[in-house]
């Protein structure tokens, strides 16, 4: 399932603030600054990048909890980078401390939980939910 996950492993993800990842575009606000939902996604991407290369083929992680503070606004054109540090491994449960910085200051902090899952079993279970829309039926 995993090669060697241990506390201290870090991952990073970066993006430039553009019109597609602003609060206005997400509908989470009316200002063209980096959106909180975009920040959360960047935090998750950083956590994934910390561990994905250490997982055996056929396994992935899924996010189950995130608790964040969005501390500062970041304008269009500025780069933001999320860093996720693995702080706890409890079986399949992974806990990360995450932070986001722009080119000037700390933008956000938080804690993010992910679980290791077998991809095919996870997808099969999700697709087996009653009432699932059959896309092939057209």
Q: Does domain 10-129 have CATH number 3.30.470.20?
A: no
Q: Catalytic annotation on 3?
A: no
> What does the alpha-carbon distance between residue 57 and residue 118 come to, in Å, rounded to a whole number?
9
> What does the alpha-carbon distance between residue 7 and residue 111 come to, in Å, rounded to a whole number?
14
Single out the residue of 64, 28, 26 nearest to residue 44, CA to CA: 64
> Any idea what the Cα angle at residue 120 is, between residues 8 and 83, rounded to 5°?
25
Q: Catalytic annotation on 64?
A: no
Q: Catalytic annotation on 112?
A: no
70 neighbors 51 (Cβ within 8 angstroms): no
Instruction: Give tens-digit pLDDT for 46-93.
Output: 999 999 999 999 999 999 999 999 999 999 999 999 999 999 999 999
Return the SS3 of 27.
coil
Question: What pLDDT shows up at residue 136?
Answer: 53
Domain spans of the chain?
A: 10-129
User: Is the per-residue pLDDT at 138 higher than 50?
Assistant: no
Question: What pLDDT shows up at residue 133?
Answer: 66
Instruction: Give tens-digit pLDDT for 6-43.
Output: 999 999 999 999 999 999 999 999 999 999 999 999 99
Instruction: Give tens-digit pLDDT for 108-128.
Output: 999 999 999 999 998 888 888
Share of the chain above pLDDT 70, in %: 93
Q: Which of 22, 61, 70, 83 is catalytic?
A: 70
Residues near 86 by Cβ (< 8 Å), separated by ≥ 6?
5, 6, 7, 8, 9, 10, 47, 50, 51, 94, 95, 96
């Amino acid at each position: 399932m995993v090669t060697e996950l241990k506390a201290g492993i870090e991952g990073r993800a970066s993006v430039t603030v553009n019109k597609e990842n602003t609060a206005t575009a997400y509908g989470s606000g009316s200002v063209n600054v980096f959106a909180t939902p975009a920040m959360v996604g960047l935090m998750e991407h950083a956590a994934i990048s910390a561990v994905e290369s250490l997982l055996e083929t056929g396994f992935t992680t899924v996010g189950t909890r995130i608790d964040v503070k969005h501390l500062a606004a970041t304008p269009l054109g500025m780069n933001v980078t999320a860093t996720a540090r693995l702080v706890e491994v409890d079986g399949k449960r992974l806990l990360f401390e995450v932070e986001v910085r722009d080119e000037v200051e700390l933008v956000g902090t938080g804690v993010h939980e992910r679980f290791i899952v077998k991809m095919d079993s996870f997808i099969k279970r999700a697709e087996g939910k009653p009432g699932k829309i059959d896309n092939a039926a057209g």
